[in-house]
Homo-oligomer: A and B are copies of this chain.
Amino acid sequence: MTGWVAIAGLGPGNDALITPEVTETLAQATDIIGYIPYVARIAPRAGLNLHPTDNRVELDRALHALQLAAQGARVVVVSSGDPGVFAMASAVFEAVEAHPEYTDTDLRVLPGITAMLAAAAAAGAPLGHDFCAINLSDNLKPWEVIEHRLRMAARGDFAMAFYNPRSKSRPHGFEKTLKVLREECGPDRLITFARAVSKPDQKLVTVPLADATPEMADMQTVVIVGNSTTKFVGRYVYTPRSAS
């Protein structure tokens, strides 16, 4: 039996956003690897081994997947959203690079609905023109890099989507982000906080930057900042297709 690894995106939370490609691949799997809450979304069945692990062990998890596949297992590494956007795909390739004996592993990345696009859809179309996706976590990059990217994105008049805006271990990062955004974009720019997108407790709030506070975001929140043309129409927020 030939093993393989599929790195699959489960979307933002609602099972109606899981692609048939991912569902079919999960049905063929012998092993599911991932962060505890994502593995918990997979229905147990005979012959399926579930390997839930804690956060921040991405490389161990990736190596485990490669090892199991080398033994013939059909492994699905589950991510929320899209595995290629601030999720497990890059971690698996980092593990392959560090362990070249796994270079010939049968590896596939299966895309999913990433949080910012589900959030944008729920809000209207705030990412309807050029935009950037930025991970605000400073676990893997210094604040200076984040600040520079925020300023470049603002000066390019990109809309922006932020992942991991705030955590208990980084209470002040998002406050600094809001300060940089107000300097670059002014007080009237619209900012949307989308929490628990596509889940029963989904909550969306859009305010001008002047009224945004750090407490509006947590680790379950995706934040979207409009560009200079982003506006309300009725209860929807959208960015026109033309540049200002």
Residues of A whose CB lies within 8 Å of any CB of B are 11, 14-21, 24, 58, 82-86, 89-94, 96-97, 103-104, 107-114, 117-118, 120-122, 124-135, 140-142, 145, 148-149, 151-153, 155-158, 233-234, 236, 238-243
Determine how close the nearest CB of chain B comes to the CB of A84; give it in whole angstroms.
Answer: 5
CB closest chain-B residue, reference A96: B233
Q: A96–B231 Cα gap in the complex (Å)? A: 13
Q: Are B130 and A135 in contact, with the CB atoms below 8 A?
A: yes
Q: Say yes or no: A90 contacts B155, CB within 8 Å.
A: no
Measured in the bound complex, the distance between the Cα atoms of B81 and A111 in whole Å is 12
Known: A17-B111, A103-B233. 16 other contacts (CB 8 A): A16-B24, A58-B241, A84-B120, A84-B128, A86-B129, A89-B121, A90-B240, A109-B120, A110-B121, A130-B149, A131-B133, A132-B156, A149-B157, A151-B156, A152-B152, A152-B158
The distance from the CB of A180 to the nearest CB of chain B, in whole angstroms, is 13
Do A20 and B16 touch across chains, with their CB atoms under 8 A apart? yes
- Complex contacts, A85 vs chain B, CB 8 Å: 117, 127-128
List, sorted by A's number, 13 A–B pairs whose CB atoms are closer than 8 Å. Answer: A11-B19, A15-B20, A16-B21, A19-B19, A19-B113, A84-B125, A86-B128, A107-B236, A111-B113, A111-B117, A113-B113, A132-B132, A153-B153
- What's the nearest-Cβ distance from chain B to residue A13, in Å? 12
Q: Which residues of B contact A142 (CB under 8 A)?
A: 243
Contacts of A240 in B (CB 8 A): 90, 93-94
- Establish whether residues B17 and A89, one from each chain, have CB atoms under 8 Å apart when the complex forms: no
Q: Closest CB-CB distance, A206 to chain B, in whole Å?
A: 14
For A129, what are the chain B residues with a Cβ–Cβ distance below 8 Å?
A: 86, 90, 135
Q: Is the CB of B128 within 8 A of A90?
A: yes
Q: Would you give the shortest CB distance from A120 to chain B, in whole angstroms?
A: 5
Bound complex: CA of A239 vs CA of B140, how far in Å?
Answer: 13
Question: Which chain B residues border A130 with CB–CB below 8 Å?
Answer: 132-135, 149
**Do residues B148 and A89 form an inter-chain contact, with CB atoms below 8 A?**
no
- Separation of A31 and B94 alpha carbons in the complex (Å): 47
Within 8 Å CB of A236, what residues of B? Answer: 93, 96, 107
